[in-house]
């Protein structure tokens, strides 16, 4: 018999079981099982009490969409097999009329998207099995409570019935039975409610609530897949920059019942405080409740610390599990649990989201506790989250005098001052218009994401430490005060009442996310310091990193601040800002209007002392550290007024005719100013500008030396595209340095490096030639990106949002370096540059110098340093260490 030639490839497994019988998913990745699925399998295999179930892979979700929104063939067979194993293990039967098995159907992607996708609980209940459940548990109230929840969730998630209809019916029943809380409605009331829910279901769908449990299951699985692509889920992934996932997994898990009475309950907790990092079990629980009741704020939950009073054994067990989980994951966990008749079940664990401050403290504590080493600790802290520690806080003095209106929960630390916005849309609009706003809501929901993101702070009047507002705000490091119950919000009237006073939308309040205080007016804030654990992390970072970190600064104040944050010099000192101040702009304009070299020189001579003074200040603040000064860069028209009125004023000031000003402005007009007469091209045309600037630098350096301040200036010539340009200007600069030294009668050492910015693709392509005239390169990746892509940096927002939305570009290339394109020019610039000049010093001074992903790239291509804004210096130090650790030192 002929052998089959083509071996049929084994079909990919679509369903993984977790339970006592077997745990199949242990070694399968998060990308396939989703975070929730993988961790359920994990927890099962390390012996924690987890209700057994199955996980349908994310690949199935991808196939569902690929196949035109159809469940792939064979899926339901595998699900049937899984359910059969579950039935055997639990000795219950799905849809049974004696002892029915009920399941939850839960979403869960590889990256957690809290509250974004759907979950259905108590699935498998029907008119018949609800009676069976009531009999089997001898608890009719519970059985019908489970059933009403199912009809509600299924109606909402699968059939998209507006939840309000169910809520109205529930409110009416509560009234009828005189119940103030959900769990006070007696059994007969819940029986009645289920009938009403079924009627609502029929009214809005035209169908009866499905009485076949398998049909329920199939529809629910499909609904979870659909929830992957709802607008809010898509928007969430956009905001969070989550890309490249297959889809969501679906977990079908046997139910644990927290709603069977006073010996039952459900809760959520963090193994450590996610706001401060303190090593203390932190969370909330609710007796006789199920699922989302805790987070939804149905009743006020109790802190977990109170649990020992209610059930000591369970509390102790929970504390043990907390330690087991931390030892296993070696990180803080965010958990969900349910207690059914005194028996504890774990329903979820994931790495806990935390504030930047908590991340730092937890990393340091865990090193001390021996859980992780320094390198792991450094990798644990998202470098960008350090921004939160660098945020201002309210000054103690100003707080003493502040009028505290009320105190809510300190949900997410920070200090925020802003006017009041009452809807997410309003917050977005007003923030776009440049206003600082606090988003004030009763409670936020996933629909408010955009508004929360734009607001400087969030204030809610209900909800606890684990409410939506609190969790999301902490994730972003946005300041949030939650559950400030005394704040009465009148959303329509755009005002709030608190402390007996009314504040309208234009009034300013200050909120302190570390204490929960809500204060009147604008309370003064102060800048942070590097101390304690933060300083320790920075010290570790400095031990591991090989990249230098400099700053972009052009004032003594910024220089000092950057130095306090650990900057090792200035990588970019822009000189144009120095020409804008009141007394200088006039001389600058005089220079631009000058028609002869002589007049130009006269105007420049007036600017020279100002420049020199500025440099003395900066060199002094940065003593013993290099300061790269960039010569004048922008096109001259940027210094001239463009409206007729201002032109007239300028003419008067300079004693020339308005027509002359107008004509000079017109003459300077360029169609493409960014590609125009700027950078080194200015010095080619007007060498006297270069002369003045270099003279000021040298005179300042000499003055510093005389004051025993070791100034270390470096002269950087911008926008060079050819070696010849640089050769010419370098010679000019050298000549000027010599001349100035002589004029000053200075005989000492003065080692001033001369280098260039690499920001024109041609300079990178010919870097070996350019390097012959440069002692250093600094990659100006803003312009380099602009010119490599051909995107005008100033106008790019007209189309860039579409490019990222459609994933034509993975991210905004002006924020994170395009490593595969622009990065190649950087790499070539370094390699070729060092061929032209051995040991050429190379750095980066574009915006990218403060972006962790770009810093990683800079490390791999062998740059000597990155330079970024003062507030990003600590971030860059950490990111540089992470790059060194990740790539092997
Ligand atoms: P989310 O991803 O939005 O947190 P979950 O899938 O975790 O949604 O479920 C929502 C709520 O239902 C959670 O509180 C969870 O603990 C609870 N829940 C889910 N599955 C079960 C189950 N099998 N038994 C009891 N409670 C469950
Ligand atoms: Mg959950
Ligand atoms: Mg530039």
| 179-199 pLDDT, tens digit each | 988 889 999 999 999 999 999
Mutate to test the pocket of ligand 1, among 116, 268, 285, 292 (most ligand atoms within 8 A of CB): 292
DSSP assigned state of 23: B
pLDDT reported for residue 889 = 58
The residue contributing the CA closest to ligand 1 atom 27 is 291
Least confident of 114-118, 155-159, 294-298: 294-298
Q: Which residues pair with 131 in a beta bridge?
A: none
CA–CA gap between residue 121 and residue 158 (Å, rounded): 12
340 Cβ closer than 6 Å to some ligand 1 atom: no
Ligand nearest the Cα atom of residue 786: 3
CA–CA gap between residue 113 and residue 578 (Å, rounded): 47
Q: Which residues pair with 334 in a beta bridge?
A: 270, 350
The residue contributing the CA closest to ligand 1 atom 22 is 255
292 Cβ closer than 6 Å to some ligand 1 atom: yes
pLDDT reported for residue 242 = 87
Q: Residue for token digits 């369970």?
A: 314
> Strands 265-270 and 333-340, how do they pair?
antiparallel
Q: SS in 3 state form for 859-885?
A: HHCCCCEEEECHHHHHHHHHHHHHHHH
Ligand 1 atom at minimal distance to the Cα of residue 112 = 2
- Residue 236 to residues 113, 243, 344, 679, 807: CA-CA distances in angstroms? 8, 11, 33, 42, 15
868 among known catalytic residues? no
pLDDT reported for residue 447 = 76
Ligand nearest the Cα atom of residue 255: 1
**CA angle 885-862-850, nearest 5°?**
70
What is the per-residue pLDDT across 809-840, written as a single tens digit (0 to 9) for each? 988 899 899 999 999 999 999 999 999 999 99
Ligand 1 atom at minimal distance to the Cα of residue 53 = 23
Ligand 1 atom at minimal distance to the Cα of residue 51 = 23
256 Cβ closer than 6 Å to some ligand 1 atom: yes
pLDDT reported for residue 475 = 64
- Residue 700 to residues 114, 562, 608, 741: CA-CA distances in angstroms? 57, 21, 10, 11
Which chain residues have CB less than 5 Å from ligand 3, an ion? 759, 780, 783
Q: Which two tokens stand for residue 662?
A: 């107008």
Phi-psi region of 291 (alpha: psi -120 to 50; beta: other; left: phi over 0): left
pLDDT reported for residue 3 = 46
121 Cβ closer than 6 Å to some ligand 1 atom: yes
The answer to whether 813 and 796 have CB atoms below 8 angstroms apart is: no
Instruction: State the angle between helix axes of 127-137 and 140-157 in degrees (0 to 180), rounded to the nearest 10.
Output: 140
DSSP 108-136: EESS--TTTS-EEEEET--HHHHHHHHHH
Ligand nearest the Cα atom of residue 108: 1
Q: Which residues pair with 844 in a beta bridge?
A: 779, 866
Cβ neighbours around 280 below 10 Å, total: 12
- Residue 693 to residues 18, 522, 630, 638: CA-CA distances in angstroms? 72, 42, 10, 18
Q: From the CA of 347, how far away is ligand 1's center (Å)?
A: 7
Percent of residues, the chain, with pLDDT higher than 90:
78
Mutate to test the pocket of ligand 1, among 40, 104, 146 (most ligand atoms within 8 A of CB): 104
What is the per-residue pLDDT across 339-357, written as a single tens digit (0 to 9) for each? 999 999 999 999 999 989 8
Does pTM surpass 0.75? yes
What band does 9 get if pLDDT is binned at 50, 70 and 90? low
Q: Which two tokens stand for residue 230?
A: 């709802």
845 among known catalytic residues? yes
119 Cβ closer than 6 Å to some ligand 1 atom: yes
Ligand 1 atom at minimal distance to the Cα of residue 258 = 25
Q: From the CA of 475, how far away is ligand 1's center (Å)?
A: 20
- Choosing from 165, 468, 637, 773, the catalytic residue is 468
The residue contributing the CA closest to ligand 1 atom 15 is 291
**By 3-state DSSP, what share of the chain in percent is helix, strand and coil, each rounded to 5?**
50, 15, 35
Q: Coil, helix or strand for 457?
A: strand
What band does 588 get if pLDDT is binned at 50, 70 and 90? very high
Instruction: State the angle between helix axes of 532-544 and 873-886 in degrees (0 to 180), rounded to the nearest 10.
Output: 50
How does the average pLDDT of the chain come out, rounded?
93
Question: Looking at per-residue confidence, does 530 or 738 come out higher?
Answer: 738
The residue contributing the CA closest to ligand 1 atom 13 is 291
Say if residue 389's pLDDT is above 80: yes
What band does 12 get if pLDDT is binned at 50, 70 and 90? confident
Say if residue 119's pLDDT is above 70: yes
Ligand nearest the Cα atom of residue 289: 1
Long-range contact pairs involving 541-545 (C-beta distance under 8 Å, separation at least 24):
541/378, 541/877, 541/878, 541/880, 541/881, 542/566, 542/877, 542/881, 543/374, 543/881, 544/374, 544/375, 544/378, 544/881, 544/884, 544/885, 544/889, 545/877, 545/880, 545/881, 545/883, 545/884
Q: Coil, helix or strand for 482?
A: strand
For 422-474, strand residue ranges (E) read 437-441, 457-460
**CA angle 878-880-883, nearest 5°?**
110
What is the per-residue pLDDT across 498-526, written as a single tens digit (0 to 9) for each? 989 999 999 999 999 988 999 999 999 98
Q: From the CA of 594, how far away is ligand 1's center (Å)?
A: 75
What is the per-residue pLDDT across 832-854, written as a single tens digit (0 to 9) for each? 999 999 999 999 998 899 999 99
The answer to whether 841 and 712 have CB atoms below 8 angstroms apart is: no
253 Cβ closer than 6 Å to some ligand 1 atom: yes
255 Cβ closer than 6 Å to some ligand 1 atom: yes
| Sign for the pseudo-dihedral over CA of 764, 766, 770, 775 | positive
- Choosing from 61, 264, 479, 845, the catalytic residue is 845
Least confident of 276-290, 435-449, 539-553, 590-604: 435-449
Ligand nearest the Cα atom of residue 336: 1
348 Cβ closer than 6 Å to some ligand 1 atom: yes
Mutate to test the pocket of ligand 1, among 335, 348, 466, 471 (most ligand atoms within 8 A of CB): 348
Say if residue 543's pLDDT is above 80: yes
Q: Calculate the CA dihedral of residues 165, 171, 173, 177 and round it to 10 degrees.
A: 180
Contacts of 422 (CB under 8 A, 6+ apart): 440, 441, 489, 491, 494, 505
Say if residue 871's pLDDT is above 90: no
């Amino acid at each position: 018999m002929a052998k089959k030639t083509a071996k049929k490839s084994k079909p990919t497994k679509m369903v993984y079981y977790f339970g006592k019988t077997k745990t199949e998913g242990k070694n399968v990745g998060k990308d396939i099982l989703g975070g929730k699925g993988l961790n359920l399998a994990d927890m099962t295999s390390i012996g924690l009490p987890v209700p057994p179930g199955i996980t349908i892979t994310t690949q199935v979700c991808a196939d569902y969409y690929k196949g035109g929104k159809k469940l792939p063939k064979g899926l339901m067979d595998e699900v049937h097999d899984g359910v059969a194993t579950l039935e055997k293990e639990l000795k219950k039967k799905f849809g049974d009329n004696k002892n029915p098995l009920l399941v939850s159907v839960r979403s869960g992607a590889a990256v957690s998207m809290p509250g974004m996708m759907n979950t259905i609980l108590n699935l498998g209940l029907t008119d018949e099995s609800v009676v069976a459940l009531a009999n089997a548990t001898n608890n009719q109230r519970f059985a019908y409570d489970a059933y009403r929840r199912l009809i509600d969730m299924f109606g909402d998630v699968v059939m998209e019935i507006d939840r309000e209809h169910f809520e109205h019916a529930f409110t009416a029943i509560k009234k009828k039975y005189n119940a103030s809380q959900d769990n006070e409605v007696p059994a007969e009331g819940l029986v009645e409610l289920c009938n009403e829910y079924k009627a609502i279901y029929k009214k809005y769908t035209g169908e009866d609530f499905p009485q076949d449990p398998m049909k329920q299951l199939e529809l629910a699985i499909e609904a979870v897949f659909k929830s992957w692509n709802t607008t809010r889920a898509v928007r969430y992934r956009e905001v969070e920059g989550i890309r490249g996932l297959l889809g969501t997994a679906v977990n079908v898990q046997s139910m644990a019942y927290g709603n069977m009475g006073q010996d039952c309950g459900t809760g959520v907790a963090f193994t450590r405080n996610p706001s401060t990092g303190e090593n203390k079990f932190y969370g909330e629980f609710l007796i006789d409740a199920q699922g989302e009741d805790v987070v939804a704020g149905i009743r006020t939950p109790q802190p977990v610390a109170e649990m020992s009073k209610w059930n000591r054994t369970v509390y102790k067990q929970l504390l043990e599990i907390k330690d087991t989980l931390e030892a296993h994951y070696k990180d803080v966990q965010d958990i969900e649990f349910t207690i059914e008749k005194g028996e504890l079940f774990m329903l979820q664990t994931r790495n806990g989201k935390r504030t930047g401050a908590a991340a730092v403290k937890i990393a340091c504590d865990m090193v001390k506790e021996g859980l992780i080493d320094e390198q792991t600790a450094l990798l644990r802290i998202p470098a960008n989250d350090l921004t939160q520690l660098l945020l201002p806080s309210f000054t103690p003095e100003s707080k003493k005098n502040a009028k505290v209106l009320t105190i809510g929960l300190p949900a997410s630390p920070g200090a925020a001052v802003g006017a009041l916005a009452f809807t997410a849309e309003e917050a977005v609009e007003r923030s776009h218009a440049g206003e600082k706003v606090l988003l004030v809501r009763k409670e936020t929901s996933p629909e408010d994401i955009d508004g929360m993101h734009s607001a400087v702070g969030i204030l809610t009047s209900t909800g606890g430490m684990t409410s939506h507002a609190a969790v999301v705000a902490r994730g972003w490091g946005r300041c949030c005060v939650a559950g400030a119950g005394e704040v009465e919000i009148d959303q329509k009237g755009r005002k709030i009442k608190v402390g007996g006073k009314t504040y309208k939308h234009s009034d300013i309040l200050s909120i302190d996310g570390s204490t929960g205080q809500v204060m009147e007016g604008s309370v003064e804030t102060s800048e942070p310091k590097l101390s304690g654990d933060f300083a320790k992390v920075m010290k570790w970072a400095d031990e591991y990193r090989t990249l230098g970190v400099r700053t972009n600064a052009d004032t003594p104040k910024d220089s000092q601040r950057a130095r306090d944050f650990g900057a090792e010099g200035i990588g970019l000192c822009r000189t144009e800002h120095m020409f804008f101040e009141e007394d200088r702009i006039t001389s600058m304009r005089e220079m631009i209007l000058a028609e002869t070299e002589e007049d130009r020189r006269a105007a420049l001579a007036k600017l020279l002392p100002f420049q020199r003074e500025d440099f003395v200040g900066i060199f002094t603040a940065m003593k013993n550290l290099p300061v790269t000064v960039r010569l004048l860069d922008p096109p001259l028209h940027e210094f001239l007024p463009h409206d007729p009125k201002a032109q007239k004023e300028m003419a008067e000031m300079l004693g020339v005719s308005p027509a002359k000003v107008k004509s000079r402005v017109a003459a300077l007009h360029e169609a493409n100013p960014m590609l125009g007469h700027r950078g080194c091209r200015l010095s080619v045309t007007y060498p006297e500008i270069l002369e003045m600037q270099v003279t000021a630098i040298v005179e300042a350096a000499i003055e510093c030396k005389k004051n025993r301040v070791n100034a270390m200036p470096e002269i950087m010539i911008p926008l060079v595209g050819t070696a010849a340009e640089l050769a010419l200007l370098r010679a000019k600069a050298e000549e000027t340095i010599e001349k100035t030294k002589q004029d000053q009668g200075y005989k000492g050492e003065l080692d001033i490096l001369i280098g260039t910015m690499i920001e024109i693709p041609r300079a990178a392509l010919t870097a070996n030639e350019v390097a012959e005239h440069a002692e250093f390169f600094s990659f100006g990746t803003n312009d380099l990106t602009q010119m490599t892509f051909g995107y005008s940096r100033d106008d790019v927002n007209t189309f860039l949002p579409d490019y990222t939305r459609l994933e034509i570009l993975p991210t905004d290339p002006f924020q994170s370096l395009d490593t595969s394109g622009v990065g190649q020019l950087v790499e070539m610039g370094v390699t070729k540059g060092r061929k032209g000049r051995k040991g050429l010093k190379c750095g980066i001074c574009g915006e990218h110098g403060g972006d962790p992903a770009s810093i990683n790239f800079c490390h791999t291509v062998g740059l000597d340093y990155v330079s970024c804004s003062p507030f990003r210096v600590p971030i860059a130090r950490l990111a540089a260490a992470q790059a060194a650790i990740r790539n092997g030192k």
